Structure 1
């Protein structure tokens, strides 16, 4: 029995996968998605496996994986390389935690600058502009 996701043109395939046609072509150029053969005098056709693969790529991107990392995950997609996949995920998790820490530092500094802006009186220079111009060193200088 043929499913609804078999024998798709690139336009229908892109729609089924939730992306645009240029995304499909980009993934093919990057080696993330195989380009099917083009029968003589006909057009390329895609199937359910292609839709699943694009959805995999998009899901991995939402988790912050780069296209190179996604290519590596796709190489491991037979399910027998869980240790290798876990290792990649651990590195990504560490990256995410570092970004969260950086964002928390940025939030602290910006919060202090906004508070200083609201507290200023008279013709005093804007604390935010002054700090960005280097007139006053920003506290928590780790947020660069």
Structure 2
């Protein structure tokens, strides 16, 4: 006798993992999740570890990893030296660079506000911190 397929249905997985159904299907199409089994009625049936995998994917995204990077990390997980340490150090350096760039932008904006700049192209404030667009080539 053939055993009926068992597992979690799409809505159950989505609810347990805190994602919507469209996200679940998108991750399937991207190859982040294995194709689920199907019930005799055609419903997707996911193994219980799908929830843990989704949780890991969402955690990696919150850390700033793109889905391509997450896919690579998940594939590397199966091999020795999964690469998380190297990728995390690289991501940390990238975030530090972005923070430095945003700090520079913030400082310039603060100078624009303090100088009461009134136009991007024809500012009349003394000591305008913005470059004069007429002099830029």
TM-score by length of 1: 0.75
Classify 1:16/1:79 alpha carbon distance in 2 versus 1 (closer, same or farther; 3 Å).
farther
CA displacement at 1:138 relative to structure 2: 2.1
Taking the TM superposition and a 5 Å limit, the aligned residue runs for 1:66-85 are 66-78=66-78, 80-82=80-82, 84-85=83-84
Which structure has greater strand proportion? 2
- Give 5+ residue unaligned stretches, structure 2: 1-5, 132-137
Q: Does 1:138 align with 2:126?
A: no
CA shift at 1:134, angstroms?
6.8
User: Could you list the per-position Cα deviations for residues 37-63 of structure 1 after superposition, in whole angstroms to 9, with x for gaps in the alignment?
Assistant: 214434121232100111111000001
Distance 2:112 2:23 in 1: 41
TM-score, normalised by the number of residues in structure 2: 0.78
SS of 1:45's partner is strand
SS of the aligned residue for 2:44 comes to: coil
Summarize the alignment of residues 13-32 of structure 1 with structure 2, pairs less than 5 Å apart. 13-32=13-32
Quote the residue 2:108 is aligned against.
109
**Structure 1: segments with no counterpart, 5+ residues:** 1-5, 118-126, 140-144
Kindly report structure 1 stretches of 4+ aligned residues shifted beyond 4 Å: 134-137
